[in-house]
Structure 1
Amino acid sequence: MIYLRLFLESIAFAGQALRANLLRTLLSLLGVTIGIFAIISVFTIVDSLERNIRNSMSFFGENVIYVQKWPWSFEGNYPWWRYFKRPVVNLREYRMLERRLEHQQGVAIFWSKNSNTLKNQSNSLSDVNVQGVSYAFNMVSDVPVAEGRYFTQQEVEGGRNVALIGADIAENLFPGQDPIGKEFKLKGLRFKVIGAMEKQGENMMGIPGNDKNAIIPYSAFMKIYPTGPDGLEPAIAVKGLETDIGLMDLEYEIRGVMRSLRSLKPRDEDNFALNRPELLADAITGLFKIIGVAGWIIGGFSILVGGFGIANIMFVSVKERTNIIGIQKSLGAKNYFILLQFLFEAVFLSLIGGGLGILLVLGITLIPQDALEIILSAKNISLGLTVSVIIGLLSGIIPALMASRLDPVVAIRSK
């Protein structure tokens, strides 16, 4: 009950300070407002950027390891020409990995070929990316089917001329029509549309999602495009189990099976690459942490100024209310009561400044953005309020101690 009374009295005193010296108080709180705005806006934009970039990488899949000829990042001391001597992954290795791996919930092989032209009578679309995939491809990668269905096992293994198409392909080849069941031509062969994918638009990385993708069974793909040393190079994707933290068990398994299939001796180096999308995501997270530190530094100076402003208000408040403090003490108020009263007041004033800063950030999120959706998270709101409380406590502790230690007789005579 005493804490509720302290809280209510502190709010009342803080309200009096605001009304009595409105301009001075607002100017003093401006530093906290700007500081919280700077910090929370930076964190909000960084979180939004990171979320959008991670969403842009969703086509890589989660908990997936890619087995390929080329690594996604090159080691500094490794001779680049050795990569050329590596063999490409093949169907035999894909089938053996699918059969032998225990720490997996999906294994797929796929090829990609850019700059293709699809035709339907007088309609055509160029620069289409065609992917040939195995049946489990939708388990290791994001295939958002909006209409129709995904492939059946028989369609994939039989190499039937069926396809899933992106939104741009559907709009250009079949304008104003339902694309399901329609046909288009690719390299002179007719393919039947069994599914259409959701429209995604261009993502943060400049990649147009699945909108200009046509996905066909890998057996049908191999009829059209040459593979091997002088042709397209496939990749094998393996999705790990949720219980395999860090996919370490899966990585050891893949490395063991691949080395066995390629008859590598214990001292031989790997002639294949195990690429992991989370390494790219971790690099992005590290970059954004640096930006976050910059936000703390920029906002920290403003908060420091705001903290001095609140301390100034509290010193003035102690001086103006010295007589009242003396009366309170003469009536039996304890030192901790006076101390908490002034601390609550300082925290309340700081929260007003921090709240205004958060409202400014919220205003930014309400501005329509086509390229980047900015969302103010509950985590960042909590961070802003927590920082405000800490600044209030630090700014108010010295004035509150001074007030709590006043001699009641001297304080009453001060007026």
Structure 2
Amino acid sequence: MMKFLRQVWESFRFASGALKSNITRTILSLLGVTVGIFAIVAVFTIVDSLERSIRDSLSFIGDKVIYVQKWPWGFGGEYQWWKYFQWPEPTFAEYKYLYDNMESASAVAIMDFRGSTTLKNGSNSINAMIQGVSFEYNLISDIPVQNGRYFIPLETNNARNVAVVGADIAESLFPGQDPVGKPFKLSGHKFTIVGVREKKGESLVDFGGSPDKICIIPFSSFSKLFQSGRRNADIVVKGFPTDEGMKEVEAEIVGLMRTKRGIKPREGNNFSLNRPEAAAQAISGLFAVLTVAGWVIGSFSILVGGFGIANIMFVSVKERTNLIGIQKSLGAKNYSILFQFLFEAVMLSLVGGFVGIFLVYLLTFLKLGSLEILLTPGNILLGLGVSSIIGVLSGIIPAMLAARMDPVIAIRSK
């Protein structure tokens, strides 16, 4: 072990001396590797940051859930697009039927949205999205309440005028105050705040609107205010974790919905079952393309950098031929000479990799709106790993030539 460590230390000294003695040549050789590693790690870092931001924005949709809706999230399939117009909207009665009869679901909820609506408290006002939900909605979608509480069944069942509001709404209507228990006006009706959600802040993409500007009220209250007797909405069903692929819950939804709507056996469904996985898969496909593009762009720069390192190693071997002969005449083994030059090539490549990674680290300080760029340990290891491989591939041939030199011929060279 001590012999190996001594050999590593000697190789490090030789490599450092060789790189310092030709600093200009070393820097020029590093540029290719630096640019290549920067391109690859930067693309991976930005793609990871974008994907994380978008997936966080999709978290409100819920996990292992199926949305029963009129319109599919993606057109196509067995029906022509105009036939969707003839399909009925899901109703509150259908929600109650699923709620009472579903056995393979852990939760069934109903929800609906209304666009920008003015909320007022005296002279303070804010435009917000109104979301009406049944009590079980918090079992399907994450609603982190920082101050106060979520609804209780009595409030949702009896159409109480209560609300769980986003942080921006609370700050706008009640600046510097505790908003819990205080009233405000929504479409001319008095509502009381029972809870305030945790502040999420800006996101690159906010599917369904920013949670900080959403006012959640019981679906029964929402229906009285905005639906004019038409209790149409989206039904959301959450399956059990043990239901792989959501097959059991989907089959039960289809059977119950067809029964409720009186669809004959030979007739097709007149409702859509939408899954959040479709959006997640589309996002994954997009970022997979961006990742491949990053590899392609970075590979060209790394290829140039690899040739640069190979060139400097060939020159280094030629310049130190006499020294190689002296070392071998004093008993240095072939593997010792091989390791010495290979270590030098890897060290040179790693220095370029470190510089490239450092440049990516500087990117994390840039303000790109709501996008937070994070350099993960995985991407750092990726950059260093690629640098090491490039160093080995670029230095292996020059190192082998140096190791196979005849000591007598090498000493005589000038």
TM-score range, shorter chain: over 0.9
The 3 A distance-change label for structure 1 pair 381 and 170 is same
Could you tell me how far apart the structure 1 residues matched to 2:346 and 2:328 are?
23
- Segments of structure 1 that go 5 or more residues without pairing to the other structure are none
Could you tell me how far apart the structure 1 residues matched to 2:140 and 2:386 are?
42
The 3 A distance-change label for structure 1 pair 227 and 380 is farther
User: Which segment is superposed worse, 158-167 or 100-109?
Assistant: 100-109
| 2:252 equivalent in structure 1 | 253
Q: Are the aligned partners of 1:132 and 1:218 in contact in 2 as well (CA < 8 Å)?
A: yes
Could you tell me how far apart the structure 2 residues matched to 1:212 and 1:63 are?
26
Per the TM alignment, residue 369 of structure 1 is displaced from its structure 2 partner at its CA by 4.1
| 2:185 equivalent in structure 1 | 185
DSSP 3-state at the match of 1:29: helix
Q: Are the aligned partners of 2:223 and 2:231 in contact in 1 as well (CA < 8 Å)?
A: no
Q: Could you give the per-residue CA deviations for residues 265-300 of structure 1, whole angstroms, max 9, x where no partner exists?
A: 343222111111221121112111111222112211
The 3 A distance-change label for structure 1 pair 113 and 368 is closer
DSSP 3-state at the match of 2:211: coil
Q: Are the aligned partners of 2:349 and 2:387 in contact in 1 as well (CA < 8 Å)?
A: yes
| 1:338 equivalent in structure 2 | 337
Could you tell me how far apart the structure 1 residues matched to 2:244 and 2:10 are?
53
Could you tell me how far apart the structure 1 residues matched to 2:184 and 2:153 are?
22
| 2:275 equivalent in structure 1 | 276
Per the TM alignment, residue 211 of structure 1 is displaced from its structure 2 partner at its CA by 2.3
User: Which segment is superposed worse, 167-176 or 214-223?
Assistant: 167-176
Per the TM alignment, residue 206 of structure 1 is displaced from its structure 2 partner at its CA by 5.1
| 2:124 equivalent in structure 1 | 123
Q: Percent same amino acid among aligned pairs? A: 59
Q: Partner letter of residue 7 of structure 2?
A: L
| 2:133 equivalent in structure 1 | 133
DSSP 3-state at the match of 1:105: strand
Q: Are the aligned partners of 1:17 and 1:25 in contact in 2 as well (CA < 8 Å)?
A: no
Q: Are the aligned partners of 2:110 and 2:137 in contact in 1 as well (CA < 8 Å)?
A: yes
Could you tell me how far apart the structure 2 residues matched to 1:9 and 1:267 are?
82
Counting only pairs closer than 5 Å after superposition, residues 20-169 of structure 1 correspond to structure 2 as 20-75=21-76, 78-126=79-127, 128-169=128-169
Per the TM alignment, residue 100 of structure 1 is displaced from its structure 2 partner at its CA by 3.6
User: Which segment is superposed worse, 268-277 or 234-243?
Assistant: 234-243
| 1:18 equivalent in structure 2 | 19
User: Which segment is superposed worse, 103-112 or 377-386?
Assistant: 103-112
| 1:194 equivalent in structure 2 | 194
Q: Partner letter of residue 179 of structure 2?
A: P
Counting only pairs closer than 5 Å after superposition, residues 317-332 of structure 1 correspond to structure 2 as 317-332=316-331
Q: Could you give the per-residue CA deviations for residues 12-43 of structure 1, whole angstroms, max 9, x where no partner exists?
A: 12101111100101111111001101111111
TM-score, reference length from structure 1? 0.93
Could you tell me how far apart the structure 2 residues matched to 1:335 and 1:265 are?
83
TM-score, reference length from structure 2? 0.93
Could you tell me how far apart the structure 2 residues matched to 1:307 and 1:103 are?
58
Could you tell me how far apart the structure 2 residues matched to 1:111 and 1:277 are?
17
User: Which segment is superposed worse, 219-228 or 31-40?
Assistant: 219-228
DSSP 3-state at the match of 1:211: helix
Q: Partner letter of residue 284 of structure 1?
A: I
The 3 A distance-change label for structure 1 pair 156 and 232 is closer
The 3 A distance-change label for structure 1 pair 202 and 371 is closer
How many pairs align? 412
DSSP 3-state at the match of 2:301: helix
Question: What is the CA RMSD across the aligned residues, in angstroms?
Answer: 2.0
